[in-house]
């Protein structure tokens, strides 16, 4: 049975993006509707994992205990909304460390593919930056841009410019709109294939 898996960025997709990094659970503030979107996808049989660059660890701005506390808080908030994440994958390195896992490199997504035994071509990846769309493309995932977080301030022409650099990407107003798109498409596919049976 094929695992239906979605890869989500964290900051700017699930929670409000902060220039100074989310350093404690109290600084992790859900974007309105984002947690409910994950719950809707979960209820439709989708598993969700997070892939996030957390250079604040490498820079000494945040330690592992704080990261873990933030993710416990995030999962509690999600559970309260009826959703869940299967796992959180993160890159703790700074750009200067030239690791394989920091997006836009595809290392984290490849780790996820190995863990779940999935074909990344069937895995939508949701992001709020060109860098993460490029990471999705490099990994062979289906790239989706949400206009929240760092993408919230982009003018329509800038959104077009971003999408032109990753031609297979699609833009959505937020995670709720992405969920709606995915579930509608899935329903249409089922209807089409169902009538052939």
At 164, is the secondary structure helix, strand, or coil? helix
- Are 172 and 145 spatial neighbours (Cβ–Cβ below 8 Å)? yes
From CA 170, how far away is CA 185, in angstroms rounded? 13
Give the global pTM: 0.94
**How much is the average pLDDT of 108-114?**
97
pLDDT surpasses 80 at 186: yes
Helix (H, G, I), strand (E, B) or coil at 51: strand
Q: Is the model's pLDDT at 1 over the cut of 70?
A: no
Beta-carbon contacts of residue 46 (< 8 Å; ≥ 6 apart) = 4, 5, 6, 182
Q: What's the average model confidence in pLDDT over 139-160?
A: 97
Rg (CA), the chain: 16
pLDDT in tens, 8-19: 999 999 999 999
Domains of the chain: 5-196 (3.40.50.1000)
Residue 40 scores a pLDDT above 90: yes
Confidence of residue 196 (pLDDT cuts 50, 70, 90): very low
Angle, vertex CA 25, rays to CA 58 and CA 135, nearest 5: 50
Is residue 197 scored above 50 in pLDDT?
Answer: no
Q: Are 149 and 11 in contact (CB under 8 A)?
A: yes
Where do the DSSP E strands lie in the chain?
5-8, 47-53, 87-91, 124-127, 142-146, 170-172
Note the pLDDT tens digit of each residue in 57-109: 999 999 999 999 999 999 999 999 999 999 999 999 999 999 999 999 999 99
Dihedral, CA of residue 11, residue 101, residue 112 and residue 25, to nearest 10: -30
Q: Do the Cβ atoms of 49 and 8 come closer than 8 Å?
A: yes
pLDDT score at 189: 83
State mean pLDDT over 22-38.
97
Please give the pLDDT value at position 191.
78
């Amino acid at each position: 049975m094929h695992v239906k898996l979605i890869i989500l960025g964290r900051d700017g997709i699930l929670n409000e993006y902060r220039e100074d990094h989310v350093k404690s659970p109290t600084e992790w503030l859900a974007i309105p509707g984002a947690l409910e979107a994950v719950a809707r996808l979960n209820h439709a049989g989708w598993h969700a994992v997070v892939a996030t660059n957390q250079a604040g660890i490498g820079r000494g701005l945040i330690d592992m205990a704080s990261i873990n506390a933030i993710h416990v808080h995030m999962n509690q908030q999600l559970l309260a909304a009826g959703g869940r994440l299967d796992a959180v994958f993160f890159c703790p390195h700074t750009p200067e460390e030239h690791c394989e896992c920091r997006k836009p490199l595809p290392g984290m997504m490849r780790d996820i593919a190995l863990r779940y035994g999935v074909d990344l071509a069937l895995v939508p990846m949701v992001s709020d930056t060109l860098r993460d769309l490029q990471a999705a493309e490099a990994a062979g995932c289906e790239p989706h841009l949400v206009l929240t977080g760092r993408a919230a301030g982009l003018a329509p022409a800038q959104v077009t410019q971003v999408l032109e650099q990753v031609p297979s990407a699609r833009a959505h107003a937020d995670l709720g709109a992405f969920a709606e798109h995915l579930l509608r498409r899935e329903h249409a596919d089922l209807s089409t294939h169902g009538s052939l049976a």
